[in-house]
Amino acid sequence: MEKLLLFLLVGFIVVLGGTQANEYLDFNVTEIDRIEELEFGFSKYSSNLNPLLVGLTLIRGADSGAVCLDGTLPGYHLHRGHGTGANSWLIQLEGGGWCNNVRTCVYRKKTRRGSSNYMEKQLQFTGILSDKAQENPDFFNWNRVKLRYCDGASFSGDGQNQAAQLQFRGERIWRAAIDDLKANGMRYANQALLSGCSAGGLAAILRCDEFRNLFPGSTKVKCLSDAGLFLDTADVSGGRTIRTLYNGVVEFQSVKNNLPRICTNHLDPTSCFFPQNLISQMKTPLFIVNAAYDTWQIQSSIAPTSADPSGFWHDCRLNHEKCTPSQMHFLQEFRDQMLRVVRGFSMSRQNGLFINSCFAHCQTERQDTWFADDSPVIRKKAVAIAVGDWYFDRAEVKLVDCPYPCDKSCHNLVFK
């Protein structure tokens, strides 16, 4: 990731054809920046005409050193539950990529991904965070929290770079936020769900068992990872773009000591930053929502410009309909790898799965992909219903789509 989060939105068009939606976006930013904006700013384009706005709370009582990259206080957005959900808590970990060296982290600390000075004072709560039963049938009346992401290492680093005035305190932010929320009533929870999107989805996996241990055994605790299944895979040149990125994050931000011991006791720290080496060993029930053709991974891991100097993948990277047969074969092999990764994980009855054959990234916070009249479905089941059925033990949920192009319910992302 050479450059992060400089967004200038210049156009947005949604084109519907039959039951399939292709969403065309045109940003004057790098291709990776496009995906970053989709992950975390897309809900502003939701069809919800009256979204809930929730204010930012800074964690002023944070324990020593729990700060963003630039030293400012971390924060979260909390909307209180009511009725039957008054003692139920949903914690959503924000995502937004990573920074792996001085240059990318210094750039990041001047954005909302590295400083609370630049964070929105209010955020829209849509999708899994919505307060409306017709938009979020199972979690609408829970206490719902969006923990802001301002460390650049999936809430896992603990170090600093004094020369560059950088603080790598993701692990301390996580602990400070949890302590603050417990003081605000979460310690009385009878139900809890830790979730996250993208880099936050990875964090939900990394922190899942620790989250379970915060509560007594009588509390129902599960975890949800949306678009967090980043694969340790080769790029189109045969290189290891994402492994190089993750190695930089783990080393530069001193992540090693905060990774799950069930992994680091037999694998190197960088391998333990990849979910595929964690999910089958976790004790806490986990649900994975992921697009089989994850657009972030296509653009920044599988076919980044650095691995495609000739530009052969340029059109395919932006629009799947322009992929050649050989390129589509490569992407089908990526899907096959994803399915192999989750095979053992899915054999456990306590775990859940929703792998749809869409070109998408992050589907739980967007209202149109979480729960709407034309939401993506697998076997007529939308993401919201699948997650709810799994969490409340109404059904065992192991939904895997047929390969592209069979699914006509997708909201595929296409870039100009």
Active site residues: 198, 294, 361
DSSP 135-161: TSTTTTTSEEEEE---SSSTT---EEE
Short-list 403, 401, 342, 341, CA closest to 376: 401
CB 194 within 8 A of CB 219: no
Greatest CA span in the chain, whole angstroms? 58
CB 298 within 8 A of CB 314: no
Alpha carbon distances (Å) from 56 to 8, 59, 123, 266, 273: 23, 10, 8, 40, 29
Residue 89 exposure: Cα atoms within 13 Å on the Cβ side: 27
Query: φ and ψ at 188, to 5 degrees?
Result: -95, 10
Query: Which residues, including other chains, have CB under 8 Å from residue 160's CB and lie 6 or more apart?
Result: 166, 167, 168, 169
Q: What is the CA radius of gyration of the chain?
A: 20
Q: Whole-angstrom Cα distance, residue 218 to residue 156?
A: 28
- Compute the Cα dihedral for 25, 27, 30, 33 and give only its sign: negative
User: Residue 30 gets which letter from DSSP?
Assistant: -
At 3, which amino acid appears? K
Q: Whole-angstrom Cα distance, residue 275 to residue 19?
A: 33
CB 227 within 8 A of CB 197: yes
At 73, which amino acid appears? L
Q: Whole-angstrom Cα distance, residue 27 to residue 37?
A: 9
Q: Whole-angstrom Cα distance, residue 129 to residue 106?
A: 31
